[in-house]
Structure 1
Amino acid sequence: MNSFDTHEVLNQAAPFADVNLFRCDPALREAVEREGAGWAGAELDALGAELGRAEILELARVANANGPRLMSYDRSGRRVDEIEFHPAWHQLMSLLVGAGAHAAPWRAPRPGAQVARAAQYLLFGQVENGVQCPVTMTFASVPALRRAPALAEQWLPKILSNEYDPRSLPVSHKRGALVGMGMTEKQGGSDVRANTTRAEPILGGDGAWRIVGHKWFFSVPQADAHLILAQTDAGGSAGLSCFFVPRYLPDGSRNAIRVQRLKDKLGNRSNASSEVEFHGAHGWMIGAPGRGIPTILEMGGYTRLDCVLGSAGIMRAALCHALHHARGRNVFGRVLSEQPLMQNVLADLALESEAATAFALRLARCFDQPDDPAEALLGRILTAAGKYWICKRGPAFGAEAMEVMGGNGYVEDGPLARIYRELPVNSIWEGSGNVMCLDLLRALGKSLPEAGAALAAELMPAAGLDPRFAACAEALLDELPALVQDEGGARRLAERLVLAVQGALLLRHAPGYVADAFVASRVAREPGGAFGRLPAGTDCAAILARTLVT
């Protein structure tokens, strides 16, 4: 040691990097096979190896440390409303779009396509989450766009392209296109019926409408087009309609969309979110007049699926970093991951992560079967409930993972601080917790007998595997008609529903020591309280051995 050195650096775990994120996750691999996307295994394995490289994980850090900048004017004083990104952002976007996570099920539909894409998205969620926002909205825009054949003919070839083209140009000159969304306004937030933005038809034109108003949250302002909501008459009596608003008009001129500022967000800092005003912007209606909310909510179903997938991916990332650290750290003379209380905490986190993964891919399979009424109904219910519960579990999960690493987790040198800041966004974006729970009540209330049957078909095959689970599942199904009438208890209903589906999946498909621990800690008793409360007799070592295979 150099005479000027005060100490050697010892007992510091190496960074979690250069790991195949797919291969090290048995629960994800099993779910991909089980839910009908086994054919994508080789592709997902290659993607997992690429995303786990240290160089790719470093791009995530750099993209967040060097967030987007709004360039309102060019050097000549012309209004341009451009967003400038660090090259790391563009490299990550190229990876995500190149893998087809924005469009693969629409480009090449086949059984399991949504599940394969969901697994891709969950893997990307372990790397960087800002780039997932434009990819999600582009993916979700396709079903809505298909309602407007003329727009679809022009735009879908560019949207379905696997080339990421960040250039600010008319779509006819681009190799690929992205789509964003703008729904909320200052006075309304989730209450989009309070929107004041208005649209008037342009007489003698090409079907365009002139739009005047604003959006308080306008996602991905650099996108080539956005779907927005606007009132279709001055008084608003006709209700909201959905409009496709391109960044450039057909004649090559810029549309009259003015970016006021970028949002200074808690997390998701690599991604641009903005406030905008429409100064007579041109848009084209999608769907029927006054039916904008149902039209754009079709897009919302897919974005909410991605909120579940994204949260599952972020939780998996937090778990991997924490468990890897604990395996490489000695405390009080023993390896940290082998100490009983720490094993309990880590195993509890592992159960939460595996259950979220199993639920998310089962939900994706519902989207793979839109022509099956029972699957479509189950997907409608589980999307709302899962968006609430899985996203809600994220912040507490991230805080616990950070605590495993102690001070090393709390500082910006490592990934846990960034991961922790990412976790609340999926609870807020695309409908906050209360909105999701009210949506669940609406979905159940409109189709209760059929919804009960769909849930029973999902839960009861596991009832014979564990009497504790059987009692809870039967109680949930019996009480469902009364629970749907109790608005004040909607959060508890969503929680019970998700836990029951997760329990059924794990009982049927996971190793016994995983399923038993999950049922004992979350189904047979209230799951509240901190992580690390697994009952005596839980095989924590076996759970952790399965969790991260390196």
Structure 2
Amino acid sequence: MAASTHTVTNQAPPLVGYDVYEADAALMAAIDRHVDPGRRAEAHAELGALGRRAGSAEAQEWGRLANDHEPVLRTHDRYGNRIDEVEFHPAWHHLMKQGVAGGLADAWSRPDGQVRRAAAFHVWTQVEPGHGCPLSMTHAAVPALRAQPDLAAVWEPLLTSRAYEPGLDKPATRKAGAVAGMGMTEKQGGSDVRANTTRAEPIADQEGAYALTGHKWFCSAPMSDAFLVLAQAPGGLTCFLLPRVLPDGGRNTFRIQRLKDKLGNRANASSEVEFDGTTIGWRVGEEGRGVRTILDMVAATRVDCVVGSSAIMRQALTQAVHHAEHRSAFGGLLVDKPLMRNVLADLALESEAATTLALRLAAAYDEDSESSRAFLRLAVPASKYYVTKRCTPMVVEALECLGGNGYVEESGMPRLLRESPLNSIWEGSGNVQALDVLRAMQRESGALDAVLTELGETRGADHRLDAAVKDFLTELSDLDAIEARARRVVERLALVIQGSLLVRYAPEEVADAFCASRLGGDWGHAFGTLAPSGGLSAIVERARPVRG
């Protein structure tokens, strides 16, 4: 029996049974802005259905179970046969099935596909971000495979299918759908993939087939149906498609050495793998053009780093606001306390700026024009650099809003915190992104022009934004030791793009507070240092997970 003193009061109720999509005003506004009017109703309906699933108690339990019951490596079966399989909890497969069915790997076959898919990714990965990794790689593999039309004809329908069929019991071509991963990184090179040592030798009697020998230091989601890998062919570094099951039904040699013990999510499996000379891969693109071939894949996954971080930020904000709406202290609800309201409003600004930027990147992909591609060349690495780095401090502050309750695993906040640094590392860490921005500005003049054209849409609308753009250009006028200043330059670039988007599209109180704090210098070093104004309450109200 419970002790007579054990009466539970003043605790926030579980945040379940809500619509993750309709609770996100910034995300819904982005759909209204970027989706063709004739397709908006359909997009809202699809995303609303996914949002209700994401906010359900069942889906949230899947997320918990998938992380509590970690994947297990089975190198051999009971008879001693090498199988190299990873066993997942059923909750993982439930998450994957819903994600695939929700279109998280299908953006290439319909109008407005990138925006609608990015919004779905933003919604569904708030349940559990780990399974977003294979979904992101599956989505991003499509443009890379198009460098080899014969392979794309076979694999693209499988990768964009909305059917999830796990297992290695038959070739992917006999499945209703397939999932893709990638293996680029090696011990000695890290982000410098040109230092890769994995070898690929042509197989004489199989057109386009090569025998691979080497290792991959990071290979995520090793139970995927196929992987894009880089290896040194006779003509130089080349991209290959490596299936887990060969066309004849036999297992390809794919030796999983161990699973990584990661800082972040526990639901997804990251591994080290070896290819022993009998591993078969099919060439994607020309020999020696491996980096060029995977650039489109890298760009797509970098956008997902931005979208994924914005999703984590939104979920952290949601939990903080929900707690403050139900927790009383010092004579009133936390949400009504001026200082807590300042903290929540500041977190809401960060979240809305990240979401708005992420969807703008996706919309530029849908535009598919010369100017949009030039814009993305700078905006993607700058956004990837800045948004992913803002994720961790924001989640830390949101966790603190829950006090000690946020520090225990049952709250879900530690899981968000552990995951928050991932996207700043995946697909090139901060220095890689910053140097990529400098490289694009120096080699591709149209990229900077495209960004300045975008910023020109709001010239004169806010004096703080105008001044920040001027400061950014001043940074570019001084090229001495610019590499050492690269992070400073890229941060300013990302901030002025965010500011321009919010001035154009966000409510006045959101744009004003963002420009005053992030661009105008009226901000401290911690969240919750906004200048007091009547607009803070409206900003917090806009961020509520359940409005009405």
Q: TM-score range by the shorter chain?
A: over 0.9
1:138 alignment partner in structure 2: 138
User: Is 1:163 matched up with 2:166?
Assistant: no
More divergent stretch after superposition (18-27 vs 131-140): 18-27
Taking structure 1 as reference, are residues 528 and 332 closer, same or farther at Cα in structure 2, changes over 3 Å only?
closer
2:185 alignment partner in structure 1: 184
User: Is 1:210 matched up with 2:211?
Assistant: yes
Deviations 1:421-469 (A, max 9, x none): 1111101111111111111111111123x23321222112222221121
Mapped contact 1:444–1:484 kept (Cα < 8 A): no
Taking structure 1 as reference, are residues 483 and 34 closer, same or farther at Cα in structure 2, changes over 3 Å only?
farther
1:64 alignment partner in structure 2: 67
Structure 1 unaligned residues grouped into runs of 5+: none
More divergent stretch after superposition (17-26 vs 452-461): 452-461
Matched to 1:333, the amino acid is G
1:118 alignment partner in structure 2: 118
Mapped contact 2:378–2:451 kept (Cα < 8 A): no
Taking structure 1 as reference, are residues 58 and 461 closer, same or farther at Cα in structure 2, changes over 3 Å only?
same
Matched to 1:202, the amino acid is I
User: Is 1:453 matched up with 2:440?
Assistant: no
Q: Which secondary structure does the structure 1 equivalent of 2:268 belong to?
A: coil
Query: Quick one: distance in 2 between partners of 1:3 and 1:267?
Result: 36
1:346 alignment partner in structure 2: 344
Q: Which secondary structure does the structure 1 equivalent of 2:45 belong to?
A: helix
Q: Which secondary structure does the structure 1 equivalent of 2:432 belong to?
A: helix
Matched to 2:50, the amino acid is L
1:17 alignment partner in structure 2: 16
Mapped contact 1:322–1:401 kept (Cα < 8 A): yes
Query: Quick one: distance in 1 between partners of 2:388 and 2:172?
Result: 35
1:224 alignment partner in structure 2: 225
1:29 alignment partner in structure 2: 28
Mapped contact 1:463–1:473 kept (Cα < 8 A): no
Shift of 1:401: 0.6
Taking structure 1 as reference, are residues 3 and 544 closer, same or farther at Cα in structure 2, changes over 3 Å only?
closer
Counting matched residue pairs gives 540
Query: Quick one: distance in 1 between partners of 2:260 and 2:494?
Result: 33
Query: Quick one: distance in 1 between partners of 2:517 and 2:315?
Result: 23
Mapped contact 2:50–2:124 kept (Cα < 8 A): no
More divergent stretch after superposition (470-479 vs 296-305): 470-479
2:361 alignment partner in structure 1: 363
Query: Quick one: distance in 1 between partners of 2:339 and 2:400?
Result: 13
Show the 5 A alignment for 1:292-303. 292-303=290-301
Mapped contact 1:267–1:422 kept (Cα < 8 A): yes
Shift of 1:485: 6.5
Q: Which secondary structure does the structure 2 equivalent of 1:356 belong to?
A: helix
Deviations 1:272-313 (A, max 9, x none): 110000011111111111110111121100000000000000
Question: Over aligned residue pairs, what C-alpha RMSD do you find?
Answer: 1.6
Q: Which secondary structure does the structure 1 equivalent of 2:532 belong to?
A: coil
Show the 5 A alignment for 1:124-523. 124-168=124-168, 169-233=170-234, 238-280=235-277, 281-370=279-368, 372-448=369-445, 450-482=446-478, 486-523=482-519
Shift of 1:474: 2.8
Mapped contact 2:122–2:307 kept (Cα < 8 A): yes
Shift of 1:506: 0.9
Mapped contact 1:402–1:409 kept (Cα < 8 A): yes
Show the 5 A alignment for 1:530-541. 530-537=526-533, 539-541=535-537
Mapped contact 2:375–2:448 kept (Cα < 8 A): no
Query: Quick one: distance in 2 between partners of 1:13 and 1:430?
Result: 38
More divergent stretch after superposition (482-491 vs 193-202): 482-491
More divergent stretch after superposition (282-291 vs 150-159): 150-159
Shift of 1:373: 1.1
Mapped contact 1:329–1:336 kept (Cα < 8 A): yes
Mapped contact 2:215–2:275 kept (Cα < 8 A): yes
Query: Quick one: distance in 2 between partners of 1:387 and 1:3?
Result: 50
Mapped contact 1:125–1:311 kept (Cα < 8 A): no
Q: Which secondary structure does the structure 2 equivalent of 1:465 belong to?
A: coil
Mapped contact 2:328–2:334 kept (Cα < 8 A): yes
Matched to 1:159, the amino acid is L
Shift of 1:538: 5.7
Mapped contact 1:483–1:490 kept (Cα < 8 A): no
Query: Quick one: distance in 1 between partners of 2:519 and 2:136?
Result: 32
Shift of 1:6: 2.0
Taking structure 1 as reference, are residues 245 and 530 closer, same or farther at Cα in structure 2, changes over 3 Å only?
same
More divergent stretch after superposition (520-529 vs 176-185): 520-529
Query: Quick one: distance in 1 between partners of 2:73 and 2:280?
Result: 22
Q: Which secondary structure does the structure 2 equivalent of 1:215 belong to?
A: strand
Matched to 2:333, the amino acid is V
Query: Quick one: distance in 2 between partners of 1:264 and 1:57?
Result: 23
Runs of at least 4 residues of structure 1 off by over 6 A? Answer: none
Shift of 1:156: 2.1
Query: Quick one: distance in 1 between partners of 2:18 and 2:479?
Result: 45
Mapped contact 1:182–1:227 kept (Cα < 8 A): yes
Q: Which secondary structure does the structure 2 equivalent of 1:520 belong to?
A: helix
More divergent stretch after superposition (437-446 vs 532-541): 532-541
More divergent stretch after superposition (91-100 vs 201-210): 201-210
Query: Quick one: distance in 1 between partners of 2:263 and 2:209?
Result: 37
Query: Quick one: distance in 1 between partners of 2:345 and 2:3?
Result: 43
Shift of 1:493: 1.2
2:90 alignment partner in structure 1: 87
Mapped contact 1:441–1:484 kept (Cα < 8 A): no
Deviations 1:342-386 (A, max 9, x none): 11111100000000011000111111122x111111112111001
Shift of 1:481: 4.6
Shift of 1:251: 1.9
Shift of 1:204: 2.4
Query: Quick one: distance in 1 between partners of 2:178 and 2:249?
Result: 15
1:7 alignment partner in structure 2: 6
Matched to 1:98, the amino acid is A
Normalising by the residue count of structure 2, what TM-score does the alignment of the two structures yield?
0.96
Shift of 1:73: 0.6
